[in-house]
Amino acid sequence: MSGGRWVENDAQWFETRMLYCDLCGRIIPKHLWQIELEGVTRTFCDPACEALYRSYIQGARPAAERERAHP
């Protein structure tokens, strides 16, 4: 579907490292879904949030702007 991958948050038990889903804003405690979109690494709580991001956020941009991002 996307080429994304699961990544583990490697923070130690005594560290406070808050990671949030780029779509829904939910805190991701341990396992996060990452993918590179348009040269930016995006972090999601699961592949479903990535799919919704692609259809809702990327799909909402005007066609000319999408073409500039993907020549």
> 54 lies in which domain range?
5-69
| pLDDT tens-digit series, residues 12-52 | 888 888 899 999 999 998 999 999 988 899 999 999 999 99
Distance CA 61, CA 34 (A): 22
Verdict on whether the full-model pTM lies above 0.85 = no
Query: Edge-to-edge strand order for the sheet containing 5-8?
Result: 5-8, 31-37, 40-44
pLDDT (0 to 100) of residue 70? 52
Distance between CA 25 and CA 14 in Å, rounded?
23
Cα dihedral: 41, 13, 26, 56 (round 10):
20
66 compared with 40, residue with greater pLDDT: 40
How many domains does the chain contain in total? 1
